[in-house]
Amino acid sequence: MESSFSSKRNHVPYICSEEENNSSKTQNKYREIISTLPRDNGGYTTTGSKLFDNLCCYQGFWYHSNSLEGVMLAQEHFKAQPSDILVCSAPKSGTTWLKALTFAIVTRTHFNDSSNPLVTTLPHECLPSLDQKLHNRNPEFPLLATHTPYTSLPKSITSELGCKIVYMCRDPKDAFVSTWHFARKLPIYGQEPISLEAAFELFCKGVSFFGPYWDHVLGYWKASLEWPERVMFIKYEDMMRDTVLYVKRLAEFMGYPFSSEEEREGAVEKIIELCSFENLSNLEVNKNGMRPPRSLVAENNAFFRKGKVGDWQNHLTTEMAERLNQITDQMLGRSGLRFDVSS
């Protein structure tokens, strides 16, 4: 099912022309670099899953080569504008939710309940992606999204004149379990679905999509401490615990604060309801739709599994959980960032 919003939207190229973007010269340049990158995934070169066996390491992070071309293209050509808002996350950390919330907040005066694109479109398709090869910016809504680690973002974003960034992260145990489930739903890549144990070993060694997970989180965490007015750092667990508070903070940070009148009329609650797991996961487009072929091939329902805090308890042994907690403690060190690793 092609979504109505994505097929009608009128995005303009922001990096380079489509011809240039797709030119075999550009593609070959990046592919040549990618072919030289380390691929030793910590001794697990034959997990049986093409998805995990094709990861390569670039600037200290692990990528599937398809997504890396887009990252490189953005690094070379992307020019941030001060009005841009970049929605960032490590995979499976609440991206879908954060995309829906930011989109609903920014566009709230443009649509009514039934005309909102989120009703007919997977949230991922509502925001142009920085690391997709066809780069474009919606002139009306200045939102862009990426999984790219902070240190590998285009310089025009991280420079002093760059744009605002909102970042969502999640307890690594839940992020891992969510990633493993998702990977099993990508039939196109896998001959054999990867076992939980093999995926766990890789994750602990830092070999995960856009991982090491902890380095991804720390990059944005440190940036949020250094430039709090430019980088907003949110935990999935906090957003779950007090969604009203964090949605208001998010709106304010992005420059779209709710007026007292809007608050009185329940605009915050309406957005929360629209973007809730229950609502989004039950929409026809998210139950039975497919992402367009240019994106990662997945059924839309793969992005909606449980949407709960602490589901790791149903999948990880006590030893596995302790090991991840220890790595998390060690990696976060004295950064000041904590997940509630005792739960």
208 lies in the site for ligand PAP, by CB under 6 A: no
- Closest C-alpha among 130, 293, 105, 285 to residue 138: 130
CB of 73 to ligand PAP, least distance (A): 20
Residues in contact with ligand PAP, shown as a per-residue x/- string from 269 to 298 under the rule CB under 6 A = ------xxx--x------------------
116 lies in the site for ligand PAP, by CB under 6 A: no
91 lies in the site for ligand PAP, by CB under 6 A: yes
306 lies in the site for ligand PAP, by CB under 6 A: yes
146 lies in the site for ligand PAP, by CB under 6 A: no
219 lies in the site for ligand PAP, by CB under 6 A: no
178 lies in the site for ligand PAP, by CB under 6 A: yes
- Please, which of residues 226-265 interact with ligand PAP by CB under 6 A? none
307 lies in the site for ligand PAP, by CB under 6 A: yes
Q: Nearer to ligand PAP by C-beta: 230 or 306? A: 306
303 lies in the site for ligand PAP, by CB under 6 A: yes
Q: Nearer to ligand PAP by C-beta: 97 or 203? A: 97
With CB under 6 A as the contact rule, the residue among 78, 87, 88, 94 that binds ligand PAP is 94
Is 147 one of the annotated active-site residues of the chain?
yes
Of 11, 110, 135, 147, the catalytic one is: 147
CB of 91 to ligand PAP, least distance (A): 4
164 lies in the site for ligand PAP, by CB under 6 A: no
Residues that bind ligand PAP (CB under 6 A): 89, 91-97, 100, 174, 178, 181, 275-277, 280, 303-307, 311
Give catalytic residues, as residue numbers: 147
